[in-house]
Amino acid sequence: MTVARSDYEAIAAYYDRYRAFAPGELRFWLGRLVALGGIEHGQAVLDLGCGTGRFAIPLANGLGAQVVGLDRAAGMISQAAGKEGSGAVRWAVGDAQALPFAAAAFNAVVMSLVIHHVDDRPRALACIHRALGPGGRLVIWTSSHRQIRQFILGRYFPSLVSIDLQRFPAVPLLLAELGAAGFSGIRRLAVRRRESVEKRGFVERVRNRYISTLSLISDAELEAGVRALETDLASVPGDRFARTYRYTFVTAERPCVAQV
């Protein structure tokens, strides 16, 4: 089965315009990555699939971690390297399936909504396992299939759900793949965050395909879905509406002692 892939070289030009976090959002999600990864000041951290550096830069500047930001899209790295504070991060273009780092180079690896873009997960997980030092932790931020079916935009763009069910690995499969790669302490955590969202800005982000899956649907489906979304939001009093974000975090460790 061929799974659709988003073109992040093209997306890089407008990614931050429509995907940037508000300060409160950034603190919330970054806090989850730091806590689940057990990341501390001075530790070596790989932000794998770092995009334009929205986590790599504050990890380096705010937490004082030694951060490497790696992405396979050179355009995303170019955008990241031009940001304020980017000099504290070491940037690299590369692929999760062939990490260009020495063994045991990192205390933690974080992957934020990236795992569904990896073509060969078992190979990538083996590379990550090698790159982590003993006791090092991997944090994968993803969506379960149930969460994908609950996604608000699935009501307006029918093919969005079917595309993401193909792209995102089912969480039980991901847990099994981590075990096969030699990880231990494998856990999953469902996280919800409810926010008040400005209606006009949200519609603009959707119209401009703010998530990668929207870049894979037809113009006709996009237009029809945006019109339906605008109609439904117009029935909600005021200029804001409540939205619930649902995601899953999967964590795992490289054992301190080699498994037999």
Give, as one character, the DSSP assignment of residue 88. G
pLDDT, position 20: 80
Separation CA 227–CA 249 (nearest Å): 33
Question: How confident is residue 1, by pLDDT bands cut at 50, 70 and 90?
Answer: very low
pLDDT in tens, 118-157: 999 999 999 999 999 999 999 999 999 999 999 999 999 9
Q: Looking at residues 91-113, what average pLDDT do you find?
A: 97
Separation CA 139–CA 133 (nearest Å): 14
Cβ atoms of residues 1 and 166 within 8 Å: yes
pLDDT, position 14: 72
Task: Report which of residues 24 and 171 the model is more confident about.
Answer: 171
Separation CA 133–CA 131 (nearest Å): 7
Residue 2, both tokens: 């061929």
pLDDT at 48 over 90: yes
pLDDT, position 260: 45
Secondary structure tally for the chain: helices H, strands E? 11, 7
Cβ atoms of residues 239 and 199 within 8 Å: yes
Q: What is the CATH number of domain 8-143+163-193+245-253?
A: 3.40.50.150
Which amino acid, one-letter code, is at 20? A
Q: For tokens 């504050």, what's the residue?
A: 58
pLDDT over 90, % of the chain? 88
pLDDT at 5 over 80: no
Question: How confident is residue 206, by pLDDT bands cut at 50, 70 and 90?
Answer: very high
Per-domain residue ranges of the chain: 8-143+163-193+245-253
- Average pLDDT for the chain: 93
pLDDT in tens, 208-258: 999 989 999 999 999 999 999 999 999 999 999 999 999 999 999 999 875
Question: How confident is residue 29, by pLDDT bands cut at 50, 70 and 90?
Answer: very high
pLDDT, position 108: 98
